[in-house]
Amino acid sequence: MTIDLWYVVLLQVRSTMGKKLDLTPRKKARIETVLTETTMNQVEIAAKYGVSQASVSRIRRSLACGEGNDGHRVGKCGRKPKSTARDDRILVSMIKRNRKLNSRQLAGMWQASGVDVHDSTVRRRLLKAGLGAHRPTRKQHLNPSMIQKRFEWAKQHLHMTTGDWKKVIFSDEAIFHVMNDRTQYVRRTSSESLHPDCISTSVKHPTSVMVWSAICAKGVGRLHIVSGMMNQHKYKEVLEKKMLPALRGWFPDGNCTFMHDGAPCHMAKSVAKFLKDSGIGVLSWPGNSPDQNPIENLWKIVKDRISKRRPATKTALIEALIDVWHRDPEIASMCPKLVESMPRRVKQLHTNKGRHTRY
């Protein structure tokens, strides 16, 4: 080869220096054949197959050591990730400092630290770290005083067994709305935004109904439709006409305890006197603790089932309520399981030192 030709080949090789395409097993086999059966040098072979001279040199050394081409790739192939393991840890620490940042905001913050990636890359890295996007869990607000009171209550009731909780009657009010559509997502194309199945309708001032009832390990109590808002006089009437008959049916010997929360109408002196005169023991209850009341879980199940019926009038809503509460066999069968969860609820509240629980 003349000096001029050698110089041209050298320029071609240098122009292709840098990151090379992946050396496939087939290309390696061809280079091995040329090295063993021809007199071409490494520079010429590199230029012919578009690889670096170093790659050809490595293949030559492998042949000299008796290591042939096994047909398998060594290590990972393809483009290197745009972020290192350290960069991924920085991303995770950023989202843990502020859980409400979206992928676009995180991508901007990541780019400021020297990692130039797209929003979709951020989402993939977070999913790989087990940090998927979810709706925030809705819980009651707790200030330090409330947390302390809940913690003290948990310590006082840790000793209660499942058998003890089966002697407790849990009560509460709940509000149900007409046309309460709980659907959150629909699957549709961009042109189906006004399709009837892809619309969530609402009314300006939805009609609502307040109801009261009680449950225990033996089933559900009578459902009472409250006219207007509950006050101490209405509540005392509910206890007399709904709670007392249910209590006598469940516990003829009167060996039970009644639970209600600290709502003003529940704590009225006239209500306390009525319960005392009736010989009914009342369970102490911490404020802002719906997670400890199993009837709250049952209300949620009932609301989900009624929302599927989509009652359009107040009358239809009341009929659906009565039908689900009294005639759905699964509702009554859930009561024992909910009451049996009380020791776990109290234990978790104690473990969390009065803060939110998963219930």
- The CATH number of the domain holding residue 218 is 3.30.420.10
Is the domain of 104 the same as that of 246?
no
Cα separations in angstroms, 202 against 111, 179, 207, 304: 42, 7, 11, 17
Rounded (5°) CA angle 271-272-275: 85
Q: Which pair of tokens denotes residue 31?
A: 């280079």
Range of the domain at 114: 85-128
Q: Minimal CA–CA distance to 170: which of 212, 231, 226?
A: 212
Widest pairwise Cα distance in the chain: 118
271-303 as b/e: b if 16+ CB within 10 A: beebbeeeebeeeeebebbebbbbbbbbbeebb
**pLDDT computed for residue 46 by the predictor:** 87
DSSP 227-275: SSS--HHHHHHHIIIIIHHHHHHH-TT---EEE----TTTS-HHHHHHH
Instruction: Examine residue 39 and state whether it is found in any structural domain, yes or no.
Output: yes
- Flag whether the pTM goes above 0.85: no
Separation in Å, CA 5 to CA 2, 13, 46, 88? 5, 13, 15, 49
Q: How far apart are CA 111 and CA 309, in angstroms?
A: 49
Same domain, residue pair 110 and 251 = no
Are the beta carbons of 110 and 122 closer than 8 angstroms? yes
Residue 353 near residue 231, CB atoms below 8 Å = no
Q: Do both 223 and 327 map to the same domain?
A: yes
DSSP E strand stretches across the chain: 168-177, 208-216, 219-220, 224-226, 257-259, 281-282
Q: Is 72 a domain residue? A: no
> CA 160, CA 321: separation in Å to the nearest integer?
33
111 and 206 share one domain: no
Write out residues in the chain with pLDDT < 70, as ranges. 1-22, 67-78, 179-185, 201-206
- Give dist(CA 24, CA 73) in Å, integer: 7
Residues 200 and 319 in one domain: yes
Residue 134, domain member (yes or no)? no
Q: What is the pLDDT of residue 184?
A: 61
Query: Is 312 part of any domain?
Result: yes
For residues 212 and 115, membership in a common domain is answered with no
* DSSP output for 86-101: HHHHHHHHHHHH-TT-
**Does residue 250 sit in the same domain as residue 114?**
no
Domain shared by 234 and 178, yes or no: yes
Q: Tell me which amino acid residue 329 is.
A: P
217 plus 108 within the same structural domain: no
pLDDT of res. 22:
59
Could you tell me if residue 282 is inside a domain? yes
- Sorted by sequence, the CB contacts under 8 Å of residue 204 that are 6+ apart come out as none
**Residues 113 and 27 occupy one common structural domain:** no
Residues 174/299, Cβ–Cβ less than 8 Å: yes
**Structure-token match 């209590």, residue found:** 247
- Indicate the angle between helix axes 314-327 and 294-309, nearest 10 degrees: 130
> Is 193 in the same domain as 332?
yes
Residue 136 lies in a domain: no
Tell me if 137 is assigned to some domain. Answer: no
Residue pair 154/350 in contact by the 8 Å Cβ criterion: yes
Q: Number of structural domains, the chain?
A: 3
- The β-bridge partners of 224 are 212
Kindly calculate the radius of gyration of the chain based on its CA atoms and give it in whole angstroms.
36
Is 139 among the domain residues?
no
Q: Which residues contact 151 (CB under 8 A, 6 or more apart)?
A: 349, 350, 353, 354
Q: Is residue 251 located within the same domain as residue 327? A: yes
